[in-house]
Amino acid sequence: MNIAILFPVLAFMAGAMTAFQPLTNAKLNQHVDSAIWVSFISFAFGTVLLFVLGMITQGKFMTLEMSGLKWWMFVSGALGAFYVTAALYVVPYLGVAVLASLSTAGALIMSAILSHYGVLSDMPRPITMQKFVGMTLLAIGAIVTLKA
């Protein structure tokens, strides 16, 4: 398949799957009654799945080169845990559509700012007028979704 098609489709599918995650976690929360423990279960299951997939596809356990590693290279797990746990609190009150629209708007705006300044990247990508208009429209859409 053409990469120009594959990667946008993959990105869209990944986004579509994020609608299911908070819903399944919210259902699990009805049985566990603890957002923290539901988040733990979610990450533990994902960890086991990734370990099995890694062993199947790589045939060995990872190697980790410690030189050059910085502490902040490991915070993505904590950021993911924050999102999953926050979603468990938000979904029962605002719904998954509002969560998706607000979190997407937040992700796009923060991504544009980080990219503009080249944070953790070798190449800054300036916020163009076209990007600004797109972000503004998405933010307006998120606000409309919240008010609906």
Q: Which residues contact 99 (CB under 8 A, 6 or more apart)?
A: 22, 87, 90, 91
What is the mean pLDDT of the segment spanning 61-76? 86
Task: Quote the pTM value.
Answer: 0.82
Q: What is the pLDDT of residue 144?
A: 95
Residue 127's alpha-carbon distances to 101, 132, 142, in angstroms, are 21, 6, 20
Range of the domain at 37: 3-147
What is the count of structural domains for the chain?
1
Per-residue pLDDT, 100: 92
Measure the CA angle with vertex 131, ends 126 and 135; round to 5°: 125
Over residues 75-87, the pLDDT tens digits come to: 999 999 999 999 9
pLDDT at residue 67, rounded to an integer: 84
Is 32 a residue whose pLDDT tops 90? Answer: yes
